[in-house]
């Protein structure tokens, strides 16, 4: 990740914004709901016979075809409260202090929150957390993440 603020925001836009899906969004109601009720926990994906395929493309996150589901892993920095406070909190004094001409757009903040909301639904049980770790959807050096600490952070 780039160290200067506008570089970080440009990186975050690449990581989380979905311009092609945004163009299609007025028509997506024909094939999907805007609620989160269709996001099943990871253990249900396994029960449906789906193989978890890692994708870094945010536009493929939680899409599935046949027996494959594409899931974007959580980047390490997204599990940092300090990162959220510094870069994704629109009322943070750190944003004004750390950026000269760029701050997060509402679209970027909504996209990052929406992305993390999907993980709230994907990891509901210990078995889901185990699947997430085994599938490398969570940073591999975070063995200390428990379901309790995860739920505390994600909510």
Q: Which residues pair with 52 in a beta bridge?
A: 69
According to the model, what pLDDT value does residue 8 have?
85
- The CA distances from residue 63 to 18, 67, 75, 96, in Å, are 13, 11, 19, 36
Contact 69, 52 (CB under 8 A): yes
Query: What global pTM score does this model have?
Result: 0.81
Structure tokens at 61: 């996150």
Does 2 have pLDDT greater than 60?
Answer: no
- The number of helix segments (H) and strand segments (E) in the chain equals 8, 3
Q: Locate tokens 């594409």: which residue?
A: 70
Structure tokens at 103: 């701050």
Stretch 7-25: mean pLDDT, rounded? 82
Stretch 91-113: mean pLDDT, rounded? 68
Other residues' Cβ atoms within 10 Å of the Cβ of residue 32 = 8
Cα 103 from chain centre: 20
Q: Which residues contact 18 (CB under 8 A, 6 or more apart)?
A: 58, 59, 111
Q: pLDDT tens digits for 34-74?
A: 666 678 999 999 999 999 999 999 999 999 999 999 999 99
């Amino acid at each position: 990740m780039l160290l200067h603020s506008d570089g970080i925001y440009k990186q975050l836009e690449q990581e989380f914004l979905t311009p092609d899906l945004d163009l299609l969004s007025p028509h997506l109601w024909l094939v999907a709901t805007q609620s989160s009720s269709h996001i099943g926990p990871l253990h249900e994906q396994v029960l449906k016979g789906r193989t978890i395929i890692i994708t870094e493309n945010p536009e493929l996150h939680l899409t599935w075809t046949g027996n494959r589901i594409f899931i974007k892993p959580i980047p390490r920095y997204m599990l940092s409260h300090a990162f959220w406070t510094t870069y994704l909190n629109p009322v943070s004094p750190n944003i004004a202090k750390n950026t000269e001409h760029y701050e997060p757009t509402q679209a970027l903040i909504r996209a990052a929150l929406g992305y993390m909301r999907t993980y709230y639904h994907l990891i509901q049980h210990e078995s889901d957390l185990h699947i997430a770790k085994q599938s490398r959807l969570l940073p591999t050096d975070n063995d200390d993440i428990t379901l309790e600490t995860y739920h505390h952070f994600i909510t």
